Amino acid sequence: MPSPIRAAWILGVIASTLAGQTPGTLARSSEAMVASAEPFATEAGLEILKAGGTAVDAAVAVGFALAVTYPVAGNLGGGGFMVIHLPGQGEFTVDYREMAPAAAHRDLYRDQDGKVDPEASRRGHRAAGVPGSVAGLCHVQARFGTLPLGAVLAPAIRLASEGFRVSPALARSLRADRDVLGAYPESKRIFLADGELRKEGDQFLQPELAGVLVRIAEKGRAGFYEGATADLLVAEMKRGKGLITHEDLLAYEVKERAPLRGRYRGFDIVSMPPPSSGGIALIQMLNLLEGFDYQPSERSGPDRAHRIIESMRLAFRDRALHLGDPDFAAVPAKGLTSKAYAAHLRPQIRERAMVSRNLTDADPFAYEKTETTHYSVMDKSGIAVACTTTLNGGHGCGVTVTGAGFLLNNEMDDFAIAPGVPNMFDLIQGEANAVGPKKRPLSSMTPTLVMKDGKVMLVIGSPGGPTIINTVLHVVLNVLDDGMEIDAAIAAPRFHHQWLPDRTQCEPKSLTESAESVLGKRGHRLEARTYGIGDAQGIRRDLKSGILFGAADPRRSGLAKGL
């Protein structure tokens, strides 16, 4: 008899794109590597590298190209985070997360009777935060790039103005979200071909979007946050009773924040600090797991899976209780990522599964000292970029800015819209993440670098809401603990726990049948995941030879390719 998880999987609706166990193509190069979720975007990055650009120039080109060819998550109307390593200069983290409009307030999504309307933070104009992607990419290019902004925008402008062939993946994503896109006339016209649906092989031209990209190429961030594009965006807000104003656009700030750093079994971990929760949770889980002896022979055993699940549970509990925008709330980042705090929590990981609702609160302050996408780029000089960018849900709030051709985010749903009310990812979040004017909502994005002796040896990240953090955790463990090559590490089946709901979602074969049986007896609630967890894009550098190995997640249809 098959196990309960496998039986549910067999009976469920299985997405044909979920491979999970079969590694994708392993790319190899001694020059440079780009791994992204969309082949045209990967090629855009390679084009810039061939023209003499660095990994930073290529990363900016990939970001703008994704806004054209990967509308489900690539964007001009969203935001993101970038982690950059420059040899001899160190690491930099750039926060261009969306911000709440000045008119936002904690009761924004309650009606006159005080009842919460979750859909209002997920669909339509009032779900959109002030976009940060254009400001962030322009900032990165000006600060760290070597080529003119117009040069790195050229591939995206060409893809928008001359068009490109609709891929099977693009056709599927548009078809899957046709109800969301079809609810708004401009989205229906552009992305659904006025309701006819765009088919694989169709030529897709986006002249309005090309016009916006040209204005950015000519004027930098002012080509988006001021002038014609800004006028179109604000007019769209007024048309749909949204909140974003000209003042909000002009006030948007990109922030360089101190990188979050951890250490695991002799490797240095560099990741994104708040308002991303990803770096804190990743380092906290690695700290917890480092306290247990581990042999590769234990990889498929129940004890290791049990410890990983319990580490996930504890980290996501602290995420809910303590994390938010550090510009508005005291976030105990150093405490949560300290080895001492992990040692304090570790004894809670015992023989049986913990019960999430019964967890005792801990005080990390006592340990203080004074449908998203990811891409990875690295060049032979050692420059490395990990970038995760998002509209939040697939195709964001569904609204396309009339006359500008780009979709807006629904990032306001990443706030805690009311105490105890889960967001679209079933996350319960705390007071530190309440809606407020000019605040940045908490994120799970986890662009990460793993380093050894000052050199980057792994660039990794993923989309997937809260599963982002655990996807990155799995890949890091697969590479560092089990010595897997990057393609196998990304393809290996994964599981996910996020404190609440108190369940572990499992891809097929993420646990052996015997491990499932043992974990069930220990009190774990295991559920089959009917679609893939994450879409990791990674690069591993062999520190002896300097060879770069890249892989795109076989769960979807990305491309890793070397120069």
**CB-based contacts of 194, cutoff 8 Å, min separation 6:** 188
H helix runs in 12-166, sequence order: 39-50, 55-69, 133-144, 149-162
The one-letter amino acid at 490: I
Task: Determine the longest span between alpha carbons in the chain, in angstroms.
Answer: 65
Nearest to 516 by CA among 549, 493, 535: 493
Exposed / middle / buried, residue 198 (Cβ in 10 Å: 0-12, 13-18, 19+): middle
Supply the angle between the helices 39-50 and 55-69 in degrees, to the nearest 10.
Answer: 150
Nearest to 391 by CA among 401, 383, 382: 401
Beta carbons of 18 and 555 less than 8 angstroms apart:
yes
Which of 229, 372, 400, 504 is an active site residue? 372
Beta strands in 230-277 (DSSP E): 255-257, 260-264, 267-271
Sheet holding 384-390, edge to edge: 255-257, 90-96, 79-86, 384-390, 373-379, 32-36, 559-562
Beta carbons of 131 and 175 less than 8 angstroms apart:
no
Q: What are phi and psi of 90, to 5 degrees?
A: 105, -155
Helix (H) or strand (E) holding 80: strand 79-86
Is 93 an annotated catalytic residue?
no
- The Cα 563–Cα 303 span in angstroms is 42
Would you please indicate which residues are annotated as catalytic (active-site) residues? 372
